Amino acid sequence: MKKLIICHLYGNLLNTYGDIGNIMAFSHEARKRGYEVETDIISLGDEFVPEKYDFVFFGGGQDYEQKIVQEDLLGKRDELDNYIEESGVFLAICGGYQLLGKYYYDAYNNKINGLNIFDHYTENQQDGARFTGQIKIKDNLSKKIYEGFENHGGVTYLSKDQKALGMVIEGNGNNGKDKTEGFRYKNTIGTYLHGPLLARNNNLCNDLLNKIEERN
């Protein structure tokens, strides 16, 4: 039987809005294709070995947990960057998405430096406002529709060189202004869509599995 190995980054600390459901949905679809699925939680002090993993998932958490993670994450930066550049399949949601960029601000307006692998950055909304509710987007590449819900106080801005995952049909997306949602680079996706995303959007789940099979 073929084996597919998943890395869940800080899965014991970051699981806002049940985003572990993405791992469950992804594993279910992989098993339907005949894969034996193994999941490793790579957390504080653990080594990340890029060559080992077929799929990496990086979710979000509360400010306290994300600050703890940020300090450890910097020690894994080069290995994660290598995985991304080698077209590893990587899904980052909410706080994970923010941490791949330059910086974000926590609820107390403290600046938290990201990995700076990508050039997006995240500011806080004024007066503690948040984007909440259902969101629907259209993928810029596949033209497929994805649905989920968003709940974030940060507003994220992509650099001129970054490509958005999709455009907002309903909801707010990255910043509520330019209609962009998330970003895509090679086989890496960052997004604010919860749901869990892969459980609600089987089309995206299978597209990610297809990317893995293309690499192998």
Q: Are strands 145-152 and 111-113 parallel, antiparallel or unpaired?
A: unpaired
Strand partners, 138: 145, 167
Closest alpha carbon to 132 in 189, 194, 202: 194
Q: How far is CA 17 from the centre of its chain?
A: 13
**Annotated catalytic residue within 7, 8, 94, 120:** 94
For residue 110, the SS3 value is coil
Question: Does 94 participate in catalysis according to the annotation?
Answer: yes
Secondary structure (DSSP) of 187-215: TEEEE--BS-HHHH-HHHHHHHHHHHHHH
Q: Is residue 89 within 8 Å of residue 51, measured between CB atoms?
A: no
Q: In angstroms, rounded to a whole number, what is the distance separating the alpha carbons of residues 96 and 58?
A: 5
- Residue 23 belongs to what H/E stretch? helix 21-32
Question: Does 7 participate in catalysis according to the annotation?
Answer: no
**Annotated catalytic residue within 8, 120, 152, 194:** 194
Catalytic residues: 94, 194
